Every structure is written in C-alpha cells, then in structure tokens.
Amino acid sequence: MKLKPEKYRIVLSRIAAAIGLFFLCSTQSYWETKNEILVFSLFFIGMILVAIASLGRMWCSLYIAGYKDKKLIKEGPYSICRNPLYFFSMIGVVGIGCATETFTFPIVFIVLFALYYPFVIKSEEKRLKQLFGIEFEEYIKRVPAFFPKFSTFVEPENYNVNPAIYRGHIFSAVWFIWIVGILEVIEGMRKIGLFTYLWLLY
C-alpha cells in the first residue's frame, strides 16, 4: 500500500526521532564535569524553549483541530506565519538539543531542520494552493512562511473546536517534554551505574 505524502513524513519523522533518541541517550556532555554554570545555563535555556514549543503547538492545534484541509486557517498563530507548527517544532528540537547540555546537538538539529523542512513546507503549500486557490495566494502575500510577523496578528472573539480531535493534538504537542524527561531518567540511570555513555560530545 502506497503511503500518502503526509503519512510518509510522519513515518520518516518517527524513524528520525528514534535514531535521534538513541544518540541522545548514548552520549554525555563534555561540560558536565568541566563547567557547572554552563551546564545549568544550557539546560535552563532548553527548558524554556521546550515550554514555548509545547505551548505554541497546543495553540496551533486549537485552530486546526478538525479543520485541516476543510478551510484555510488564517487566524491566531496562522495569522503571524503560515507554518507555525513547524516554527514551534524547530524551537522544540533546539530546546531538546540544549537540554543535552551540549552545543553539538542544537547545531546538528538546526542543520537537519533547515535541510528537511523547507521541502516539506513547499510541498504542503503546493497542496494548499490547489485546495484554496486565490484565497491562499492572497494569504501568502500578507503572511510570512516561517518566521512570525506579529503586526499581522488576528484573533477571533470566539472559535469552535472539536474537543476529541484537540485532545489527540495535545498529546502530540508535548512530546518535547517527554523526551527531556527520558533524558533525565537516562542520566539518573547512568549516575547510579546501570549503564555508561558511548560518546562524549561538546
């Protein structure tokens, strides 16, 4: 059975996440025993970014839950950039990278994101243009593709949401927090001698 492009991206993202999690769990920060202030600062920044990403993705999900491909969402987070889910995802993966208390992972994640997601965005916007035509073309002229433009922010007084669909979106929005939790569990297990790291990274 041939996978749809969206399903293909989900499968690919999950495989990449599994590989990334393996490397995250099998490495240790060089700075852990060298500079406690730097280690704390990186982890603290990571937590802030992960929190922003999770809240941002929940905000986006509030608007698209039950409406995807049925109408062009142009309000809330979608009024300041056309791909806010990906924008907050980028913040989240950088946050996870910082939570490893290394500089290596944030840099690698940014590079991988920059190489992969422009193609995803281009493909999705091509589909949206086919679905919504002139309405989408006008939207493109007003709202940037990725980095937010806050002067275009529009928020409705009321908005109908499908609770069941939104509930499912919430779980997918907080996976950044789960990964950081896993990293902390792994670090605790390493400290009590259950296993050791394979690589030391800066």
Angle 48-24-40 (CA atoms, 0-180°, nearest 5)?
A: 40
**Residue 66: partners with Cβ closer than 8 Å, 6 or more residues away:** 161, 162, 165, 166
- Contact yes or no for 22/183 (Cβ under 8 A): no
Q: What CATH number is given to the structural domain containing 51?
A: 1.20.120
Name the pLDDT band for 2 (thresholds 50, 70, 90): very low
Task: Note the pLDDT of residue 173.
Answer: 78
User: What is d(CA 181, CA 17) in angstroms, rounded to the nearest whole number?
Assistant: 15
Task: Note the pLDDT of residue 8.
Answer: 62
Task: Tell whether 12 is covered by a domain.
Answer: no
Task: Note the pLDDT of residue 189.
Answer: 80
Task: Note the pLDDT of residue 1.
Answer: 45
Give the domain extent around 134: 36-201
Task: Tell whether 13 is covered by a domain.
Answer: no
Task: Tell whether 86 is covered by a domain.
Answer: yes
Tell me the backbone φ, ψ of residue 181, rounded to 5 degrees: -60, -40
The helix/strand/coil state of 80 is coil
Q: Across-strand partners of 201?
A: 29
- Contact yes or no for 68/128 (Cβ under 8 A): no
Task: Note the pLDDT of residue 46.
Answer: 94
Please write the tens of the pLDDT for every residue from 79-133.
999 999 999 999 999 999 999 889 998 999 999 889 988 988 998 899 999 999 9
Task: Tell whether 25 is covered by a domain.
Answer: no
Structurally, the chain folds into a number of domains equal to 1
User: What is d(CA 80, CA 100) in angstroms, rounded to the nearest whole number?
Assistant: 31
Please write the tens of the pLDDT for every residue from 6-21.
566 667 667 776 777 7
Task: Tell whether 147 is covered by a domain.
Answer: yes
Please write the tens of the pLDDT for every residue from 152-176.
999 998 888 888 888 888 887 788 8
CA distances from 175 to 7, 133, 202 (A): 18, 34, 25
Task: Note the pLDDT of residue 60.
Answer: 93
Task: Tell whether 7 is covered by a domain.
Answer: no
Task: Note the pLDDT of residue 5.
Answer: 55
| Per-residue pLDDT at 139 exceeds 70 | yes
Please write the tens of the pLDDT for every residue from 41-63.
999 999 999 999 999 999 999 99
Task: Tell whether 22 is covered by a domain.
Answer: no
- Contact yes or no for 94/24 (Cβ under 8 A): no
Task: Tell whether 18 is covered by a domain.
Answer: no
Task: Note the pLDDT of residue 10.
Answer: 65
Task: Classify residue 153 as left (phi > 0), alpha (psi -120 to 50) or beta.
Answer: beta
| Per-residue pLDDT at 34 exceeds 50 | yes
